[in-house]
Structure formats: structure tokens, C-alpha cells
Chain A
Amino acid sequence: MTHASENVSVPDPILVAKRENRVWKKFRTHRSAMVGGGLALFFVVVALFAPILPIDDPAATDWMAVRKAPSLAHPFGTDEIGRDVLSRMIWGAQASLLAGVVSVAIAIGLGVPLGILAGYFSGWVDAVISRCTEALLAAPFLVLAIALAAFLGPSLTNAMIAIGISTTPIFIRLTRGQVLSVKAEDYVESARAVGLPTFKILRRYIFPNVLPPVLVQGTLSVATAIIAEASLSFLGLGQQAPDPSWGQMLNIAKNYLHQAPWMAMWPGIAIFLVVLGFNLLGDGLRDALDPREK
């Protein structure tokens, strides 16, 4: 063993270079991921800074400027009671992104632990969790979300809970599948041979190693959740007036498509861009985290 000792006694420059995160490197050079990330980041920043941006009060009506086309005073035009569409768009971004992120957080928070339990313990635990998952998956995503939101009562919080619960089965399934493959890994066996308690194995050996695909799915699910929130708000089950949201703006705008097309155009474009952004970001993450493409 003395032979091996002579090989590497000083820090090897190659090894040091290896420490630079390969995933980040790959992600950074992924063009569409950067575009997607930029789009997502733009909306996040706009939503975060809504209170301090120099824009009109989104609830302030102006009877002198009803359904006015875009102009210098109102760059995105005004709506049917003279509110500034730009400021409603910006405040609406808050509702959309909040709904996207919170509902996915709910779904991950519920789905990942359940998936880990189902995958690791198999037997009746798996049977119960998997059958419930399948029952939830049997109902179409949006229908389920609408039903839950209607059941809980119309509000943004309830919409987020409804979307979160409807998204959960995807994460249970994904996590369970990952756990099935990770738990067969030698390092889990060796963790058991070392005598680690089951909870510690789940937390330190299973959880971190099932995380990458969950992150990818999480990012993609944010996009889906944003659409779902817009849909619920469009139906009146999400954000309640007078607080702005894109879905609700579209709902009103559909009545004035001929007279004031911009009222529908801006929320449509915004939803399109933010969803595109999160999807590209998710795809980029998937490519960067994919061990086969290293």
C-alpha cells in the first residue's frame, strides 16, 4: 500500500478542478435553459418588486380612461373600469408565481415523503399509498383541481391547496420509482451493514439521491401550476376581485375582445412567457442533472 501513497501526496490540480460543480457548468452552457431561467427570473423580480415599482395603484379606477388603447400614460392600456393594465399585470404576476411556487411546494412536501415510504417499505404501505395515488391520477388534473377548489371555497390560498393536492400524485409516483432504484444501490446496502437506523438511511441515503428528478419535475410543475391557477382564477375559483390575477383579467377581457384586445393580449402573453420560461428551465435542469449525458 506504500506504492499508492506515493502517487497522490500533494493536492492534485486535476482533482481540484474536478471540484467545480459539473452540473452547474453544464447548466451554464445550456442555451435554452439560460433563456428559460432568464424569463422565469424576470417575472420573479417583477413580482417581488411590485410594491416599489413606479406604477399606478392596480385598483385605482379612472372613468376618464375606460378601455383605452396602450399609450404613454398607460403603456399596456386600461381595462373596462379604467384601471392600468400594466400595474394589474405586475401585481397579477405575484398571484401567478405565488400560486405556482406554493402549490408545487405543497405537492413536493406531501409527495416526496409519501413516495419514499411507499418505495422503501413496499408491502401494505406501498399498496395503500399507490392505490390512493392511482385514484387521484384517475381524475384529470384540472378537473380534480377545480373540484377541490370549489369544495374548499374560492380564494387564492384554497386554489393553491387544490392545485398542490392535485399535483401530489405525480411526485409520489416519481419519488417511489426513484426510491425503488436507489434502494437497490450498493451504498444503501452498505449503510444497512454499517448499522444506520432506517430513518437515517431514508434521510441521508435515499432522499438526497432521489432529489434531482424531483427538482426537474418541480420546475416543470411550476409551469403547470401557473396555468392551473390562471384557469381557476378565470373560472372565479382563484384570486378574488379586486385583487388582480392574470386568469381573472382574461375572464373579463373575453367580453371585450373586439373593443379592447390588449386587455386579453397582455395576460395571454405573460402566461405564455412565464410557462415557457419554467419549461425551458426544467428541461435544462434535466439535461444538466442527467448522469448519462456527462
Chain B
Amino acid sequence: MSAATHCNKDIPIFSVSDLTMRIAGDASDIVERLSFDVFPGKTLCIVGESGCGKSITALGLMGLLPPQEVAVRSGTIRFEGKEYLAAEAHQARHLRGDRLAMIFQEPMTSLNPSYKIGVQIAEAVTCHHSGSYVDAKKQALAMLAKVGIPGPELRYDEYPHQLSGGMRQRVMIAMALINNPAVLIADEPTTALDVTIQAQIIELICELQKNTQMGTIMITHDLGVVAKLATDVAVMYGGQIVESGPVASIFNAPQHPYTIGLLSSMPNLSGYKERLFTIPGTVPNVQSMPKGCRFSSRCPFCSSVCKTQPEVRVVDDAHSVACHFAPLDQTLELSA
């Protein structure tokens, strides 16, 4: 764990380039040419609506997708300077849960119903580090306290069904973070929880991240979470990253029509109440993705040029967007 905490903050700890994945038997890719970097202590939020390939990306990044069902067609993942995707299965397994951790969407079903939660947390320690169970138990108790579970000694011996959803998500977080991972992948960790608990969990992840300087990949469709946590944002649509950049830049000057649509469909608590903006249509499924720009079928600015694949343009410092019209305001003004 020393390597992670003292490493250079300007060097990405987790770097994905050109990752393309395809479900066996499908004609087109479920995730296409994904590239992004995660830096220590920073949070990258991957946003997008349901079905845009967020969760499969998360599993793909962890290396949890069964190779016979989902094929990685190209791309590399570099983790702590080493190639992760090409690593031997047992090496990758030793990284998972130790250096690279994941929190799942569904705390209600993500814990083994047959064992006490404490045992499950301690197991995460003993399977990566030599040392006695007693030490692991001590660590697990400390971690339970750290994630804000009251009476850790009491809770240690409880089964998952005895805990509420929020508690279980805390347990999941304890399990993921107990080995001080360098990178945490959180797949919609608050979706299944009610709003007040959501805020607490986000707060908790924030706090733990501050202390450990881990890099976080937060997958979400909740722009409130993004605003609260993110340092960088990648907007996904139809299996591609259509826009990425620092959070302020994305929120203040969105360039891709899809990002603009997403941001305008956020309800506003103050000001004049009007009908909420929606992006017409739904994400087309993988088989029927339009040629060229995948958003073209729903884009208000769509024109003939959109039949070709847009290249990624850098519009601003680290802010890049895959749209023929980027930067949007200038291009539209010119054409008007």
C-alpha cells in the first residue's frame, strides 16, 4: 500500500485506452474505444443513462466479465504501471480486492446470506495478506467503525438479513476498502438506497477517499452525485465516451448535445417551474446503433455530416468531445 500513497499525483494510477468490448454473438460493440485516466485522490465520474454500457464497463475494468460471454476486442488497461487485462488470472485475482476494489449497486444482494458480515470482511483481508484471523478480525472491526457502523463488535456477528440497506452498503464499502486499494470502482453505489442514506454514503466515500488518496471511478446517472464527488467527468452514450473533462468545465460549458440534454433534464429547485426537459427517444440497442455518431438519431442538431464517426476534439484544457459541431457555440454561430 506504500506505493499508492506516495506515488506521483500527476501520473495516472489507472489508465484505460481504446477499450472495446463485444458480447459474444453480437454484431457490434457494446463498449467502443473507451479511454480515460484516473489519478490518485481524484474521482472520475462516468455518467450516462441506463443501457449506455456503464455497468458492463465497470465489470470489464475489474476483469470480472466471463471471457466466453464478453470479448475484449482491443485496448489496454494499465494499473499501477502494469498491464492489467493481459495479466495472468491469478495475478489479476490478487490485485482484485486488494489494490483494485469495487462497490456494487445492490447492497441487498451483494453479501453472502450464509455468513456473518464480519467474517466476510475479515475474509477479504486473509485472502490477500498472510496473518492470523484474529488480526483480520481486528482490522475488520476497525473498518466497520470507520464506515460508521455503530457497535461494530455487535454487528460483526450479524448476518446480512439483519442489516438495513444503508448498513449493508456500509459493510460493502468496508469490505472494498479494508485493504487500502489504490483504485475504487463504484457502480452506482447509491441507486438502491433512499435519498437521505444516499447522501450519507456519498459523504462517507468522500471522506474515506480524502484519507487514503485512492483514485475513484464512480459510475452513476445521478448528476447530483457527480457535482458532489467528481473531479473529472466522462459522459457515456451508446457505449462510447462522448465528452470528458474536468467537472467544472463539463457543467459550465457542456459541448456535446447529449451532455447538454442530460444537464437540462435536471430538475431545478429554485426559479420558475416548467416542464422538465427530456431527450426524445431512448438509447438504441447495440444491434441498431446508427452509423457514424451514435447520438445522431436523437440529436436536435443532426445533419448529414453526422453519418460519419466524429473524431474526438479537444475544446479546452483536458476537455474533449466527440461531436462534429464542437465547439458547439462557435460552430452553430458560424452556420447560422
A: which residues have CB within 8 A of B?
A: 1-5, 7-11, 15, 18-19, 122-123, 185-187, 189-197, 200, 204-205, 208-209
Contacts and interface: CB of A to CB of B under 8 A. Distances in A.
Contacts of B30: none
Interface in B145-185: 148, 150-151, 154, 158, 161-162, 166-167, 172, 175-176
Contact of A190 (B110, B154, B204): B110
A194 B154 contact: no
5 contacts: A2-B148, A4-B167, A189-B104, A193-B96, A195-B95
Most chain B CB inside 10 Å of its own CB: which residue of A7, A195, A204: A195
Given A195-B94, A195-B128, A187 B64 contact: no
Contact of B150 (A5, A196, A208, A209): A5
- 3 closest cross-chain pairs (CB), A and B: A195-B97, A194-B97, A208-B114
Given A5-B148, A195-B128, A196-B123, A190 B98 contact: no
Given A11-B151, A19-B162, A193-B64, A187 B96 contact: no
A190 B95 contact: no
Given A194-B123, A195-B127, A4 B166 contact: yes
A1 B98 CA distance: 25
Interface stretch (B195-203, B262-270, B281-289): B195-203
Interface of B: 59, 62, 64, 68, 93-98, 101-102, 104, 106, 109-115, 123-124, 127-128, 148, 150-151, 154, 158, 161-162, 166-167, 172, 175-176, 196-197, 200-201, 203-204
Given A4-B166, A209-B113, A197 B93 contact: yes
Given A5-B148, A192-B96, A197 B127 contact: yes
A123 B113 CA distance: 28
A122 B69 CA distance: 12
A2 to B, nearest CB: 8
Contact of A186 (B106, B114, B158, B197): B106
Main secondary structure of the interface of A (DSSP, over half): helix
Contacts of A1: 148, 200-201, 203-204
B5 to A, nearest CB: 20
Contacts of B95: 195
A11 B102 contact: no
Contacts of A186: 104, 106, 109-110
B106 A3 contact: no
Contacts of A19: 162
Contacts of B128: 195
A193 B162 CA distance: 23
B112 A204 contact: yes
Contacts of B161: 18
A190 B101 contact: no
Contacts of B196: 3
